[in-house]
């Protein structure tokens, strides 16, 4: 079955530091890959996505590249801000119909001033 593995947190960084959150997946076929962000007390918001190999998703300074050869979708940001503190979830879905999402366990990011 499908599965997503992401690095455990919390990840603690100072403002303006470089961020990487690793995500690898196991899936049949060609899944779509997503990063969702959850701010404290809120639901999930789509941060970025990629639907095929070598696609790069980007949004709000975050980016991730769909690497089929390494089955990875690592999230990166060049300079984090305090407001980026949240929990980040890597997820995948199949490409047939309304496929359900399989989530990683989430990685908490804490950015200090």
Please report the DSSP string for 47-97 in residue order. EEEE-STT-EEEETTEEEE-BTTTTB--EEESS--GGG-EEEEEEEE-SSS
Return d(Cα 90, Cα 103) in angstroms, integer: 6
As measured in angstroms, the least distance from the Cβ of 42 to other proteins is: 6
Q: Which of 1, 29, 97, 113 binds other proteins (CB under 8 A)?
A: 97
Q: Considering only 13-21, 63-71, 72-80, 105-113, which stretch makes contact with other proteins by CB under 8 A?
A: 105-113
Contact between 28 and other proteins by CB under 8 A: the answer reads no
- Name the site residues for other proteins (rule: CB under 8 A): 32, 34, 36, 41-46, 49, 51, 89, 93-95, 97-101, 103-106, 108
């Amino acid at each position: 079955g499908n599965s997503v593995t992401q690095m455990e947190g919390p990840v603690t960084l100072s403002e303006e530091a470089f961020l990487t959150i690793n995500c690898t997946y196991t899936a049949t076929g060609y899944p779509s890959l997503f990063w969702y962000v959850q701010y404290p007390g809120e639901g999930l918001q789509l941060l970025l996505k990629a639907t095929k190999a070598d696609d790069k998703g980007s949004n709000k300074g975050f980016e991730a590249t769909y690497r089929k050869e390494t089955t990875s979708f690592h999230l990166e940001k060049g300079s984090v801000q305090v407001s980026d503190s949240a929990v980040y979830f890597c997820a995948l879905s199949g490409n047939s119909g309304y496929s359900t999402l399989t989530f990683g366990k989430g990685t908490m990011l804490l950015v200090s001033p």
